[in-house]
Structure 1
Amino acid sequence: MVLNDTNISGRLPDSIGNMRNLSRIELVDCSFYGNIPSSLTNLSRLSYLDLSFNNFTGSIPSLSKSKNLTHIILYYNNLTGPIDSTEWESLLSLLILNLEFNLFEGNIPSSLFTRPSIRELRLSNNRFSGQLKGFFNAPLQMLKTLDLSNNNIGGELPTSIWELRGLNVLSLSSNNFSGSFHINLVQQLRNLWDLDLSYNHFSIDATNTAPQDSSFPDLQDLNLASCQLTTLPRFLANQSTLFFLDLSHNYIKGDIPRWIWTLENLNHLNLSSNFFEDMETPLGNLTFPLDFIDLHSNMLRGNMPPLSSYASYFDFSSNKINAIIPDDINILNSMFFSLSKNNFLGSIPKSIYKAGYLDVLDLLHNHLNGTILDCLMMASPKVLNLQNNQLSGDIPQNISSTCDLKILDISENFLQG
């Protein structure tokens, strides 16, 4: 029974339990509400169940008689209560369990972690709490994806989690995990390409990792925000496949090394809210598609940070950069550009006015001078903040009728007229 993306609504009738030959139920993105009928327990031949993107409430009915179930997909509903009363150990064929974006609570049953057949375990964005009391049956485990992010799970990570050799995706962010461990443990997960440990209460030691170390997996996404890092993990210099890197909200000091600008596949770089003091600039222009650069709230000084002509987001605010904005600055594709709360000098380059996609231009609290030109208004950002500079002259008389400006702050300058 496949009724995906239809206008069917209301409650799913109990009589569905009379259709005892059903092996597949897909009711994705309809408008069903109310409880999932307990009569589903009668469907002993059921192998595939997908009720995602609905408004189902209540708990999960027992599915222990459905011995052939391989997929249980219930994400984006309003299901509640604990799940430890479900007899997960009876589902010997279960491959994928996806309960994301619901309101489940209580402990995560240890029986889920010992199912040798399971490939994907996605329980993120719920209210699960307690600790991971169970252990992973690592030698037999076929687990590829483990996502427990955005819950309230606490305690230390089970050491057996680092023995899940088949893992591709490990996401434990935004929980209450505690303790400490060395980043070298990641080396055991040879097939890993997505790691997210951000926003917990543990600390990660990244000292004594060699840049030439090839024993780490080839990562594509690495999120270690708010992990109490004190040093930049040097093994990253050898990560040629890295696409997304977030090391924000840590305690990393020193210089941003030149090698970080040579990661040819890097698209998203967030080193904000650290203690970086300077940076080694790249040799030549950035030629790879670095789209997002966030270095705000550090202690950077000296020269202008490197820019990629591909990037749509630049945030270098709240540093100590003492420089002139280059006349040939290239932000043609930028949607967000902020140099606020620095020590930039000189006038605003005319090249900024050519940024046709700019939504936010934030240059507040610098030492910029010169006049506000007509063409600045022609750039038409939605938010323009030039507060607390040394700009002078008249406000332009002829503002374009196509101007999209919604917020304009030019206070605390030397404007007249």
Structure 2
Amino acid sequence: MTTKLDLTTSDPFGVQNLPYGVFTHGGHTRVGVRLDNSVLDVCSVPDAPFADAWATPSLNAFLALGRESWTTARTWLQDLVGDGDERPTIEQHLIPLADVQMEMPLVVGDYVDFYASEHHATNVGRIFRPDSEPLTPNWKHLPIGYHGRSGTVVVSGTDIVRPSGQRKPPTEPTPVFGPSVRLDIEAELGFVVGGAPSRLGEPVSLAEADDHLFGVVLLNDWSARDIQAWEYVPLGPFLGKSFATTISPWVVTMDALRAARVPLLGQDPEPLPYLRGEPTDDGASTAYGLDIDYEVEWNGTVVSRPPYRTMYWSPAQMLAHLTVNGATIRPGDLFGSGTISGPEKAQRGSFLELSWSGQEPIRLDDGSTRAFLEDGDTVVLRAVAPGPDGAVIGLGECTGTITPAR
């Protein structure tokens, strides 16, 4: 049965978006492109320019082809979808979303998570260091981050097992071991890296960063706050973070987000030269923000709407910083923005902030209250961005349900 395609300019997965994902159907796993509520099996379309790369069970082969190939593919797809004469051809290769299994879109190489929201960092500082300055002295001089665990990055819909570890309750003189009782989320944006691998010892400059930024995913950095609080001094996050990170199945390209680029809100003091943005041909800057609106849903109740446009550090600055010491990047690397939080309480992207470390529980629509996650709770992240000519760019959903510790 042929699937009919009926796109409008307001469709969040229309011709201005064309996100990539990996799906299984009929016993085969390969790359697809989302159109409305269907998947276009791109490698099966006649004369598809990158059929060999798209016929693989991850985006990595396509990521490795680089910026020129990504642009060629987007132009081909937009011409194909926009040509009314090609509509019957497209419809022969469309599969309803309900009939496919979405998989991890890429094999993650290295995974780095940043801390790029001034509002989030300030809130956390006030919670954990109430008698000190909320921001550490280095925070406005460099994008702070930590190396995560790529093997525990999972696709949306994967259940999250409550982690166990050491934690030290304030009422106990020594640490105890057991399941986390302060399990949290962090609503983030993940950036997928592609292009030719960089060479060891050779930084990727801010001007070169866009050649390596393929696209974005929604990212939930699940966080066990009690485990994290006990372990993170002096070396930072470890077991409180490494048990699971969830990403959305659709990778929205940076080209699809060009209309969503906005100036950063201002960086004071001025960063060191390797982090300074330079003017581009269109009058913008190589260090840019993104106008993306998030929605955080907890057991069916929308509890927060974080705005990504308020982030302090740009994606290009984060990529330039993570390589400035000569560390390499390669196709399939992933880095997270850190929690997205705005200036208002209803814009906080973690439950630690929303409940102010449990002091202000959140009431859900079913009448229950929460400070941190309980077994059986489900969290859904959603986001949209503006596209050209009034179009809407959908980023999909990032979902996870908490199951008991093992």
Higher relative contact order (CA 8 A, sep 6+): 2
- Computing the radius of gyration from Cα coordinates, the structure with the larger value is 1
Structure with bigger helix share is 2
TM-score, normalization by structure 2: 0.24
